[in-house]
Amino acid sequence: MNYANKLVPGALYIVSTPIGNLEDITYRAVRILKEADLIACEDTRHTRKLLDHYGIQTRAISYHEHNESARAADLLERLRDGQSIALVSDAGTPLISDPGYRVVAQAAAEGVPVIPIPGPSAAIAALSASGLPTDSFRFCGFLPAKSSQRRRLLESVAADSATLIFYEAPHRIVESLAEMREVLGPRPAVVARELTKLHEEILRGTLDDLASSVTGRGEFTIVVGKGEPAPESDEPIVEAVKRLERAGVPRMEAMKTIARERGVSKRDVYRAMEDDR
């Protein structure tokens, strides 16, 4: 089927919308939003501003994390009846740290056509302007709210040889950057703030610089460069930790340092120490 220019009946369209600047929407997205039978959005009042801006009168209903399961069933029934539905989120690409997974997974499983209408996403916008390697990257989404879980996640990606991308809420940016600095070391990083908006800022430096300088309001995407490759060493991990201990470094600190130097997780170092007992 040629999906290019005709609205497909009974299809679920995943429509990307602006992350700030209302001009960042494709002609095709506007057309699909106009022609669809229904728009499913996170917050109807929020999306209405975009729809009004482009003179789109299509009916909008809510689809968000609190009604996702009931609403997915309702949307699937409409799709089976041949209605075409456009799914949008408050900003950027739906499903990317946004609702939509449930309905897309079910639609795909049932053979309902799922058609992406590509457009903005803060992660890709930040990465593309970061100046950090783009050949391989890992999107980590939002860090967990709890500090212990946040550290665990950071440790699990510390040895990854890809550029890392995180979303962060403004009230946690300072804390998260400090923890990133601690767990990931002083790597090159970029904080992209308020992309496409009036006060857009792209701050570059090391995690050290950024952890001590970034504060504030707005929306933030953090891009972290890969760590330096661990120096080749024949010295077993346990011996390396013991060497630091003999030099007066406390055990926990020694384990952290060796994990960072070797590009392995703290858990791996801990396990090696346990196995050695």
Using CB under 6 A, which of 58, 97, 156, 212 touches ligand SAM?
97
- Which one of 31-39, 43-51, 119-127, 171-179 is the stretch in contact with ligand SAM (CB under 6 A)? 119-127
- Which one of 3-11, 143-151, 217-225, 226-234 is the stretch in contact with ligand SAM (CB under 6 A)? 217-225
CA-based nearest residue to 165, from 196, 141, 145, 131: 141
- Contact call for residue 44 and ligand SAM (CB under 6 A): no
- Alpha carbons 123 and 100: distance in angstroms, whole number: 18
- Contact call for residue 192 and ligand SAM (CB under 6 A): yes
Task: Judge contact between 184 and 224, C-beta under 8 A.
Answer: yes
User: For residues 166 and 254, which CB has a smaller minimum distance to ligand SAM in the complex?
Assistant: 166
CB of 17 to ligand SAM, least distance (A): 9
- Contact call for residue 154 and ligand SAM (CB under 6 A): no
- Restricted to residues 60-89, the positions that interact with ligand SAM (CB under 6 A) are 89
- Contact call for residue 221 and ligand SAM (CB under 6 A): yes
- Alpha carbons 140 and 165: distance in angstroms, whole number: 6
- Environment class of 128 (CB within 10 Å of its CB; exposed 0-12, middle 13-18, buried 19+): exposed
HEC string of 170-206? Answer: HHHHHHHHHHHHHHHCCCEEEEEECCCCCCCEEEEEE
- Alpha carbons 101 and 203: distance in angstroms, whole number: 32
CB of 118 to ligand SAM, least distance (A): 11
- Contact call for residue 42 and ligand SAM (CB under 6 A): no
User: For residues 43 and 81, which CB has a smaller minimum distance to ligand SAM in the complex?
Assistant: 43
15 - beta bridge partners?
A: 117
- Contact call for residue 20 and ligand SAM (CB under 6 A): yes
- Alpha carbons 15 and 118: distance in angstroms, whole number: 7
- Which one of 49-57, 73-81, 162-170, 250-258 is the stretch in contact with ligand SAM (CB under 6 A)? 162-170
Point out which residues bind ligand SAM (CB under 6 A). Answer: 19-20, 89, 91-93, 96-98, 121-123, 167-169, 192, 194-197, 219-221
